Amino acid sequence: MTQIRVLVVDDSALVRRLVTTALRQAPDIEVAGVARDGLEAVRMVGELRPDVVTLDIEMPNLDGLGALTQIRDQHPRLPVIMFSTLTERGATATLDALSRGASDYVTKPSNTGQIADGIAAIRDQLVPRIRALAGIRKLTPGVSAPVVRRERPALAAVSALLIGCSTGGPDALARLLPRLPADLGVPVLVVQHMPPVFTTMLAQRLDKVSALTVREAVDGEPARPGEVLIAPGDFHMRLRRSPAGIRVALDQGPQENFCRPAVDVLFRSAVEPYGAGALAAVLTGMGQDGLAGARDLAATGARILVQDEESSVVWGMPGAVAGAGLADDVLPLDQLADRIIATVRRSRAA
């Protein structure tokens, strides 16, 4: 079995213990080394050549953001997972790290006094991400050509844009949404796998750089053209038809695909109010969330766009949709905005 070698970086002895214990429970993961601050981390990355780095944000001598910048300069493709606190300060720093090239993040357990619970929480968050991101550096064959739907239904007038993403999603959204015009003419609904506080900060950041208004969704509000509504952390976002129009409904129903919010929930809920009028985009992300919902949407004649493998941080979610033959097009991230705009305008002109 090929071992995935991980460098663990954290200034807290307790957190280092929790992380290393959690990782050693995975038979395919090896703790290659442990660093206590950013300076040690930069030096040990060069010495040990790990496959993945887990990086704390707040550390002495050189903090996580500074260490990340240096690691990225020297090792641009090395997967780095930030280790963050579930606070506004932690969310801000994490989003800064993602914008600087961090691959993903996990949140620290809120109660590190319960050792067994803390180890389990870290293991459940961290191990799947390490496995998914380590695959970037392995010579696994990708899809040699886009897998697209063989029979495309007639293009119905697009009434809503639905976007689902996970690992790598914040950066993908920061590149996609600012390219959409204020007069796009349809509401935009987004599910990004993120916890509470993080989605609030993400929406605020995206709003500053987008022509469209971007904010967290509020239960019961209408889905309006000119607005991007992001599902709040820990809440599913559904779409409901009402006498006053199509509205957003938030709930804390069971997780789907181990996620809340889940892309499948949003996509599935769009079938009744929008049907063939939905345009869905599945961006970079780990796992298969969005596949079942994309299948339901495709059955109504809705169009589905997928981010390609090369521009994705992890081609799990988009790759699952493409592999199932549900994608109308598989495109680099930088081409998605133009395709979305063209599809919306062409459909409404027809």
Query: Is the four-CA dihedral 209, 101, 193, 325 of positive or negative sign?
Result: positive
Catalytic residue flag (residue 236): no
* C-alpha–C-alpha distance, residues 301 and 173, integer Å: 25
H/E element, 318: helix 317-323
Name the 3-class secondary structure at 229: strand
Catalytic residue flag (residue 207): no
Catalytic residue flag (residue 124): no
Cis, bond preceding 261 (omega within 30 deg of 0): yes
In 10 A of CB 334, how many CB atoms?
11
What is the signed CA dihedral for 219, 266, 125, 72, rounded to 10 degrees?
-100
Among residues 84, 103, 166, 269, the one annotated as catalytic is 166
* C-alpha–C-alpha distance, residues 142 and 103, integer Å: 19
* C-alpha–C-alpha distance, residues 308 and 281, integer Å: 11
* C-alpha–C-alpha distance, residues 203 and 232, integer Å: 9
Angle between helices 169-176 and 88-99 (to 10 degrees): 70
Q: Sheet containing 29-35: which strands, arranged edge to edge?
A: 29-35, 4-9, 52-56, 80-84, 104-107
Report which DSSP code applies to 309: T
Among residues 10, 171, 193, 329, the one annotated as catalytic is 193
Among residues 56, 104, 289, 329, the one annotated as catalytic is 289
Catalytically active residues, by annotation: 166, 193, 289
